[in-house]
Chains A and B, each alone.
Chain A
Amino acid sequence: MQLIKFSNINGALAAATCTLLAGVSNAQADEKSNDWQFDTAIMYYGEPDRVQAVEGVVSATKDFGDEHVFSTKLVLDTLTGASANGAVAQTSAQTFTRPSGNGEYTVEAGDTPLDDTFRDTRVQLNLAWNQPWGANQKVGAGLHISNEYDYLSVALNANYALDFNRKNTTFSVAASYAADEYSPEGGIPLALSKMAIRGDFANDDAFNSGFDDTRIGESENKDTLDVIFGLSQVINRRWLVQFNYGYSQVDGYLSDPFKVVSLVDDTGSALGHYYESRPDSRSKHSIFAQSKYHFDSLVWDMSYRLASDDWGIDSHTLESRLYIPLSDSAWITPHVRYYQQSAADFYRPFVQGDLAEYMSADYRIGQMTAYTLGLKYTQKLSDGDELSMRLEYYQQTPENSGFNSPGQLADVDLYPSVSAVIFQLGYKF
């Protein structure tokens, strides 16, 4: 009982001290705190010759008093462009059937096969409620819905946090359960079946029947359970750290219905392209550590993530953000991110001889390194609103994890790099 009273006094002291120290600008912010707070952004993502996306976000938060906070977020994005279909490049032109089964596309000699029919619009809505539970605990719950033309995801989440050691230590646990349904145009392909190509059939009817033989249905499902245990600790007046352990279990249809793997002969010539096959479950573990350090004026945010899963993919992610004040109301934030992953056990850039039970040529589960360099400029306006601009460059470098390239495959690029530019405008009010 005494403990609880003591911590209440601590809480009150903290609030009083912060208000005193923060001065006039925060007093203005406090006046605003009973109103809705909005955080909005629009982002452009562009890969030359591949995917272009535009994403808009509006987040709104309202404190109903005593930290009873309702928050909601609406995200809209639209995506167009081309994505690698997994087939190998060849020294001659190649023809592929579109995922819908309606029509073909041709890839020039030497080019990485890209399916240029991607066009999607996504709407995402998040709702969340968070509130204190007694003196030292917090609870929250949320709902996440994301809907695309061919994809629907609904997730529920809950979180719990316990403060102790004068609120310098916080233990938290959060869980999320998501149910997703995938209904791609043209249906779900039969894993390991050969892509039907119109030229191999005598007439349209024969082709349509051949294409239908590669389909198993209209849609497939997957379920994802995520659990995260977190520990955050104030080290001293300038330094705060956080550690998370995360477990994720995904079950269901985990293949990509648009991806194929090429079967090649000894000369590296493609004999056909076969729809990929991934296991129907995946368990992932991750450890995430973050440090925030306040120098005299700079703030340095540094994080590291180690992840490992039962597909054989291990990854390391290092990220750093430095907040450099330019004046009382403006700062720049350089951002660096480095990412490295090993290949899934069943990753194959192509297959020779027999097909494997599980195989995918999707470079995104192959060995790869990636880095991001970015710079953000933030300007606080006289009325407390905040304007920001962010420019980032992202480069992925897929690597060969030990496959020999027979015949003509030695003359083409099997591991092309992908780069992207990201530009974002943000406004908080």
Chain B
Amino acid sequence: MKKQLLALSLMSLALSGCANLGVNPWERDLLAKPQMQLAAESTDMALDDHIYFSKEATSGGRSFAGGGCGCN
């Protein structure tokens, strides 16, 4: 519960701090590029996640941690 409260307050702090950040719609030329998308290389990431899920103890973070395989 404490952790959740902390996360919430951090998030609201971040949000209020973010109000002055950002760009206008006509300034999104660079942000619109494929390489600037957060989900760029999604196929590579999914393949990598599958490898690391089966070889390491931690998974997820960027996306869901559940791997759905019996990887040995």
Contact = CB atoms under 8 A, between A and B. Distances in A.
Contacts of A168: 18, 21-23
B22 A364 contact: no
Contacts of B69: 122, 124, 146, 148, 151, 153
Interface in A107-126: 118, 120, 122, 124
Nearest to B3: A285
A112 to B, nearest CB: 15
A226 B64 CA distance: 6
A182 B67 CA distance: 13
Interface in A411-429: 418, 420, 422, 424, 426
B62 A13 contact: no
Interface in A151-168: 151, 153, 155, 157, 165-168
A137 interface: no
Given A13-B26, A341-B57, A288 B21 contact: no
A76 interface: no
| Interface SS of chain B | loop
B47 A424 contact: yes
B1 to A, nearest CB: 13
A138 interface: no
Interface string A11-32: 1011001100110000000000
Contacts of A341: 56-58
Contacts of A83: 72
Contacts of A171: 11, 15
Contacts of A370: 55-56
Contact of A426 (B15, B30, B43, B67): B43
B11 A246 contact: no
Given A234-B21, A315-B58, A118 B72 contact: yes
| Interface SS of chain A | strand
A237 B56 contact: no
Contacts of A73: 46
Contact of B50 (A55, A311, A426): A55
Interface residues of A, number: 105
A153 B30 CA distance: 39
A172 B50 CA distance: 24
Interface string B35-67: 110101111101100111001111011111111
A237 B66 contact: no
Contact of A169 (B18, B25, B50, B61): B18
A234 B31 contact: yes
B2 interface: no
Interface of A: 10-11, 13-14, 17-18, 21-22, 39, 41, 43, 45, 51, 55, 57, 59, 73, 75, 77, 79, 83, 118, 120, 122, 124, 144, 146, 148, 150-151, 153, 155, 157, 165-169, 171, 174, 176, 178, 180, 182, 184, 224, 226, 228-229, 231-238, 240, 242-246, 248, 250, 256, 258, 284-288, 290, 292, 294, 299, 301, 303, 305, 307, 309, 311, 313, 315, 317, 321, 323, 331, 333, 339, 341, 344, 364-365, 368, 370, 376, 390, 394, 396, 418, 420, 422, 424, 426
7 contacts: A169-B22, A178-B68, A233-B18, A233-B22, A294-B31, A317-B58, A368-B56
